[in-house]
Structure 1
Amino acid sequence: MTSSLADLIAALPAEDGWGPPAVTETTLNGVPYAPFSKGDKLGRMADWTTDSKSERGGRQQYNRNYRDQQIYGAGTAAIFTAPVTEADEASFSVVSREPTKTRYGRGAIFTRGGRGARGAQQGTRGGRAQLGRGGRGGQQGYDNYSNRGRGNANRGGRRFGWKDYDKPQRNRDASINIKADWKLLEEIDFNRLAKLNLDADEGEDVDDYGFLYYYDRSFDKAPVKATERRLTALDRATYNVTTSSDPVIQELAEKDEATIFATDSILSMLMCSPRSVYPWDIVIVRQGNKIFLDKRDSAALDMVTVNENAADAPLEEGSKEGINHPVALAEEATYINHNFANQVVLENESQRVDMSHENPFYNASEETEPPASKTYKYRKFDLSLNEEEPMYLVVRTELDAVQKNAISGEDQYVTVKALNEFDNKAQGSGGALDWRSKLATQRGAVVATEMKNNSVKLARWTVQSILAKADVMKIGFVSRASPKTNDKHVILGVIGWKPRDFANQMNLSLSNGWGIVRTIADMCLKREEGKFVLVKDPNKSILRLYEVPAGSFDDDGEVEEVAEAADDE
C-alpha cells in the first residue's frame, strides 16, 4: 500500500515540521556541547603536537603556516577542561627526541625594534606590539628611533644594538647650577614645543654695521689629493656680544622699536630647542615691558657641538683631555669655524662692501688684530597675534661674505660655516662615511649622514641664515690631516645651498620656532619684572623656566642688567 508524498506530509504534526526539534538548552543529556561558527575551519579534530603553553586564551596563536589547519572548537576548549587533581599532571609534557629547529638557525640574534624583530613576534600578523615608547626623533635623544618592524610595527621604541647592555649610562651635568632659592615656574616637554606654531613675516632691516669681503669661489672646486688646502689660523677680531651689552640694541630699546631683543645665536638655539640633546641655558631679563634674551659668558651656546644627535654620540666618560671627548671636539669645531670663515674670503680692501656704519664692537686704538669680514644686520620681525596687541622682535644677525650672482651679476650675501670630520672609525662618528673618498662621489649620502648626526647644529645655522636674509649658505667640509691629532686640518670641499631649500630638506619649520619664542616670551611677560633662566634638562627632553633673584649672576659678571646700562647713559 502506497501513499503520496502529500499524504505523508499531512500525517506529520503541524508543529514539528522538518528537521530536528528546536531547543534552547545548551546541554545534551546533561553534557554541555560546544557551539560552532560557520567561520571555523575543519582542519584537525585533535592536535597532539601543539604545546598547551603556546596557546593564549585557549586559542592557538595565528600562524600563516597553519592558516587552514586551526583546531576545530579551540575557542571553547575551556568548557571541557577538567580540574587538575594532582600537581604532577599540570607539568606533564610530551618529550621529543628531535632537536628544535629555528628558521634563523643556531645562535640567531634578534634586535628589538629593528627589521630582525620579525621572529620575536610571530603571533601578531600585522599587529602592533609595543616594546617601548620613545619620543619624537631624538628625545632622550640620540638612541630613540621610530622603527617599523615587520610583524610587530614597533613605533618609537628604543633600538638595541650590539652590546648595548654593556654601554655606560649617559648622565650629563647641567649647564648651570640650579640653586635652592630659584623658583620653578614652568616645565615644558619637547612634545608640547613641537606642536606650537606662529606665522611671522620675512622681517625688515633696521640698521647694518661692518663690512664684507668677497667669497673665494676657488674653494667650490673639488680639490685633488696632491693639492689639498690646509686650514690656516688667521688672527682676526670677531665678537659675540650678548644682547643686553650690545650698544645698538640698547639704543633701539630706548626708542621702543620692539618688545623682544635677542642675537641670532641665542634665538636660533631657542627656535631649534626640540632638536637639542646637550644641556644649555638662556638668561631672560624682563625690564619694563621688554624682554632681553641673554647668555652667560661661559655658556655652551658659543660652542659648536659635534655629532650631538648621533645614535652613538661621543662618550663623556674618561679624561676630558682626549681629543675625541665631546668638550675637546666642540673646541676643535669652534676653532675650525672661526678660521674657515676668515680663509675663504679674498681680503682686498679695494673690493670690499661697506655697510652704513662701522663695526660697533671694534676699537682700532685697543685692538691689535684687524677686524674680520663681518656684517651685523639688525632686523625686526612681527610676532603679533592681533592688531590690538602688537609684538615685535629685533635680532642681531651676522653675514660673513658677499659674492657676485653668476647670472645677474648682483651682490649676494653669504653665511659661511664648516662641518668637521675627526675619525670615521672612532666611537661617536655616527656611521659617517670617509669624506676623502666619498665626498666627491657620494655627496648626497655624506650630507644626509651629517643631517642625522648634527641635526641641531645644521638647523641653527639654517635659521641664522634665514634670519639674516642670506642668499647663500656655504658649508665647508674640513677633516683632520691625521685622525690621531686635532691641530692640523685640510679643507676637502665647500657646498652652497639656499637657506630655505636646505630647511625644507631638514624638515625644519620656522613657524614652529616662532611659536616657541612667542610662548616663552608670554610666560615671562605675565610675571613681574625680574630675571629668569630657561634651562634644558641635561638628560631629558624638557625645558624648565626658573625665576631667579636679582643679582644672581652679578658676582660672576656674566650678565649685565639692562637697567644699569640705561642708567649709565
Structure 2
Amino acid sequence: MAPVFNQIITKLATDGAWGPQDPTEAEGTINGMPYNPFSKGDKLGRLADWSGDAKGDRDQRGRGYGRNYRDQQIYGAGASTLFPQLQGEDEASFSLVDNRSNVKPRTPFSRGGGTVFRGRGRGAAGAARGGQRGQQFGRQQTGRQQGDVSRGPRNNRGRRFGWKDYDKPQRNRDSSVVIKPDWKMLEEIDFNRLGKLNLEIDDGEDVESYGSLFYYNRSFDRSATKATSTPLVIFDRAWYNPTTSGDPIIQKLADGEKATIFATDTVLSTLMCATRSVYSWDIVINRVGNKLYFDKRDGSQIDFATVNENAADPPMDVNESNKENINSPGRLALEATVLNANFAVQAVIEDTEHEHKFEHEDPFYTPAPGEPELARKGYKYRRFDLSLSDDQPLHLIVRTEIDAVMKNPASGQNNLVTIKALNEFDERAQGSGGAMSWRNKLHTSRGAIVATEMKNNSCKLAKWTTQAILAKTDFMRIGFISRVNPKEREKHVVLGVVGYKPREFANQMNLSLSNGWGIVRTIIDMCMAMPEGKYILVKDPNKQVIRLYEVPPTSFEEDGEGEAAIEEEAEE
C-alpha cells in the first residue's frame, strides 16, 4: 500500500485535485484500478457477513430500507459499486414512502381472529390446545359478544369504559352561594396544601348533655345476613338542627367563657373533610370580639347528604334535556336526607318506659298542641383543646348528636350509637358508580359493596365517621336502603344494616383526624388575624380550592339567598 499512497500524494502535488479521475484517461487509474471514494467514518470489516439479523435491515413493513440501514446512508459508506452516485449528507434523513394500504396482521383480538378471550380464558385455552370444545367456543363468539371484544383498545373502535374520557364535556357546576361583587376575597387555599396539615389533639371532654334516646332495634342487624327486606316507614316527627349562633346552649357557654371557638358537628365535619369534597359548599364565620362562630346558612347544602359525589362519573345535573330526571344530584341528595332522618327513627324501639335520658331535656323542643312528636336525639357539647402552647390557650366547643343507645351484654352498660343510611337508586342508571345490585349481592358480597360505597361516597362517609368520633360514640350502624322500583323514589325498603366502630371504620377509609384538626386550626388562625365581622368560606364548584371572603354584616339575613340550589332542583 505504500507505493500506492505515494502515487496519490505525487498526483495531488502535481494536479492539486482530490478524488476519482476520469477512467477514460490513463491518469484516472492507479496501478490499473479505478479509484473508489471513501469517507473517514468507513471501517474495515467482513467482505460478507451471513450471521447478521436480516430483520435489522428491514423495517416493520418488510421493506429493504430499514431503520438501521437508512441511518448509515452517509457519503461513501457501504458502497457496493465502483462508481456509486454521490449523495449529499442532507439527503440522509429521507426515506422511502409506501403508498400501499396498511394491512394489519391477524391477531386474537381482531375481528375474525378465531380466538376470543373472555372470562377466565377457557375458550382461548381450548382453541390453543386444538380441542373441539375450544374451537366451538371460538366460533360461537359472534355478533355482539365478539364485537365487544374486538372493539378493544388495540384498534380504538367502539365505546369502552374510560375511553376518550378526555373528550367528555367539562361539567361546570354552580357555586353553593352566589359570589357578589362587593365581597372581598382574603385567602385562597388549594387542597394540596390542606392535605399536608396535621395537628394531634386529645379526645376531648363532655361539657353538658341534653335530650333522650331510645334503644336500638337489634333485629335490623340480622336482616343483613338473611337478605330480607323491611319497608321503610315515613314518620311525622319534628327534627331540629339549629345553627351555631342560634343554639341557646352555645350562647350560654360562650357567655361563661367556656371556650373561644364554637361549631356544630355538621359544620365542623364538613371543614375537616374538605379535601374529599367535590361539590360546592360554604360555611359562614362570625367573629364577635375574640370568639369565632362557625355557622351555616338556612337551607345550606351542608344539611343534605350527597349521593355518589366521589364517583368517577357522578350523577348528571338537571338541564333542559332531562328535566324529569329523578337521579340528578339535587334530587338524590334530598331523597337521601329524608331516608336518613326516617331510618334513624325506625331503627329504634320507641318505648318511653325504657328511655335513656341525659342530664337535661331537649333544648329545642317545646310541646304544644298540634305539634308533631319529637324525633329523639341526644346532644353532647364537647370541648377540645387546640392550643399549641400553654401561653396561648385555644378551646373549641362542638355540639354533637347521638341517635340511639345499645345495651352491652357483657358489661351491662349503655353504648352510644350513630345511625346513618346509604341509598341505592338504580345500578343501571348513569352515575351509579359501578355499584352492584344490593338486593342480590348484599348477603353474599357485603365487603365488596361497602368498598364500592367508600369509593363513590368517600366524602359523605368520612363526614359521618368524623361526627361519630367527635361525639365519642361506641358504634356506627349504616343501613342499606333501596328503591322498590328504580324509576320511582317514593317507596323504599331496608335491605340490611352493617355495624362498625368509628375508629376502625376511619382506618379502613384512610381517614386522618389529625389532618382534619390541622385544617380547622389553620382556618381559625386566618380568621383570628382578621378584624371583627362576617366572613364566608366557599369551596369552588369546579376546582379543588377553598376561598375566604369578607362579606357585609347583613348578608344572608333578609335576602332569599338562603334557599339552596338542592331544594330548587328537587322540586317537581
Q: By the TM > 0.5 criterion, same fold?
A: yes
Aligned equivalents of 1:262, 1:35: Cα separation in 2:
86
Question: Structure 2 matches for 1:456-495, cutoff 5 A?
Answer: 456-495=459-498
Deviation at 1:555, TM superposition (A): 2.1
Q: 1:99 aligns with which of 88, 92, 103?
A: 103
Aligned equivalents of 2:325, 2:373: Cα separation in 1:
33
Q: 2:343 aligns with which of 328, 334, 340?
A: 340
- For 2:309, the equivalent position in structure 1 comes to 308
Question: Structure 2 matches for 1:231-310, cutoff 5 A?
Answer: 231-310=232-311
Q: Which amino acid in the other structure matches residue 307 of structure 1?
A: N
Aligned equivalents of 1:78, 1:268: Cα separation in 2:
71
Aligned equivalents of 2:98, 2:177: Cα separation in 1:
64
Aligned equivalents of 2:53, 2:349: Cα separation in 1:
85
Deviation at 1:226, TM superposition (A): 10
Structure 1 residues 77 and 184, CA gap change in structure 2 (3 angstroms): farther
Quote the RMSD (CA, aligned, Å). Answer: 3.2
Gaps of 5+ in 2: 1-36, 46-50, 78-86, 113-159, 563-572
Contact 1:310–1:428 (Cα < 8 Å) also in 2: yes
Q: Which amino acid in the other structure matches residue 191 of structure 1?
A: N
Deviation at 1:105, TM superposition (A): 4.4
Contact 1:43–1:72 (Cα < 8 Å) also in 2: no
Deviation at 1:510, TM superposition (A): 0.2
Q: 1:421 aligns with which of 424, 428, 438?
A: 424
Aligned equivalents of 2:161, 2:528: Cα separation in 1:
44
Deviation at 1:227, TM superposition (A): 6.0
Structure 1 residues 29 and 332, CA gap change in structure 2 (3 angstroms): closer
Deviation at 1:424, TM superposition (A): 0.8
- Per-residue Cα deviation, 1:156-192 (whole angstroms, up to 9, x for no partner): xxx9714646744311000000011111111111111
Contact 2:228–2:496 (Cα < 8 Å) also in 1: no
- Which entry has the higher C-alpha Rg, 1 or 2? 2
Q: Which amino acid in the other structure matches residue 56 of structure 2?
A: D
Aligned equivalents of 1:255, 1:104: Cα separation in 2:
78
Deviation at 1:90, TM superposition (A): 3.0
Contact 2:387–2:395 (Cα < 8 Å) also in 1: yes
Q: Which amino acid in the other structure matches residue 170 of structure 2?
A: Q
Deviation at 1:289, TM superposition (A): 1.1
Question: Structure 2 matches for 1:133-532, cutoff 5 A?
Answer: 161-162=162-163, 164=165, 167-222=168-223, 228-318=229-319, 319-365=322-368, 368-532=371-535
Q: Which amino acid in the other structure matches residue 368 of structure 1?
A: E
Deviation at 1:80, TM superposition (A): 8.5
Tell me which protein shows more helix as a share of its residues.
2
Q: Which amino acid in the other structure matches residue 257 of structure 1?
A: K
Deviation at 1:78, TM superposition (A): 8.1
Structure 1 residues 403 and 46, CA gap change in structure 2 (3 angstroms): closer
Q: Which amino acid in the other structure matches residue 252 of structure 2?
A: E
Aligned equivalents of 2:266, 2:88: Cα separation in 1:
73
Give SS of 1:378's match. strand
Structure 1 residues 31 and 549, CA gap change in structure 2 (3 angstroms): same
- For 1:22, the equivalent position in structure 2 comes to none
Percent identity over paired residues: 57
Deviation at 1:279, TM superposition (A): 0.7
> What is the TM-score normalised by the length of structure 1?
0.75
- Per-residue Cα deviation, 1:12-59 (whole angstroms, up to 9, x for no partner): xxxxxxxxxxxxxxxx986135899xxxxx95599331269xxxxxx9
Q: Which amino acid in the other structure matches residue 269 of structure 1?
A: T
Contact 1:320–1:327 (Cα < 8 Å) also in 2: no
Structure 1 residues 101 and 304, CA gap change in structure 2 (3 angstroms): same
Q: Which amino acid in the other structure matches residue 175 of structure 1?
A: S
Aligned equivalents of 2:178, 2:346: Cα separation in 1:
38
- Per-residue Cα deviation, 1:189-231 (whole angstroms, up to 9, x for no partner): 1111111000011000000000000011111112699963110
Contact 1:377–1:398 (Cα < 8 Å) also in 2: yes
Contact 2:224–2:442 (Cα < 8 Å) also in 1: no
- For 2:548, the equivalent position in structure 1 comes to 545
Structure 1 residues 79 and 399, CA gap change in structure 2 (3 angstroms): farther
Deviation at 1:405, TM superposition (A): 0.9
Give SS of 1:350's match. coil
Deviation at 1:547, TM superposition (A): 1.1
Aligned equivalents of 1:77, 1:201: Cα separation in 2:
75
- For 1:131, the equivalent position in structure 2 comes to none
Contact 1:413–1:470 (Cα < 8 Å) also in 2: yes
Question: Structure 2 matches for 1:115-126, cutoff 5 A?
Answer: none
Give SS of 2:174's match. coil
Deviation at 1:556, TM superposition (A): 2.9
Structure 1 residues 341 and 85, CA gap change in structure 2 (3 angstroms): closer
- Per-residue Cα deviation, 1:61-112 (whole angstroms, up to 9, x for no partner): xxxxxxxxxx5997x988989646779x83523567883327564479xxxx
- Per-residue Cα deviation, 1:281-317 (whole angstroms, up to 9, x for no partner): 0001111111110000021000111111111110004
Give SS of 2:207's match. strand
Aligned equivalents of 1:294, 1:459: Cα separation in 2:
20
Aligned equivalents of 1:274, 1:80: Cα separation in 2:
66
Contact 1:204–1:380 (Cα < 8 Å) also in 2: yes
Aligned equivalents of 1:417, 1:332: Cα separation in 2:
14
Contact 1:44–1:72 (Cα < 8 Å) also in 2: no
- For 2:136, the equivalent position in structure 1 comes to none
Give SS of 2:238's match. coil
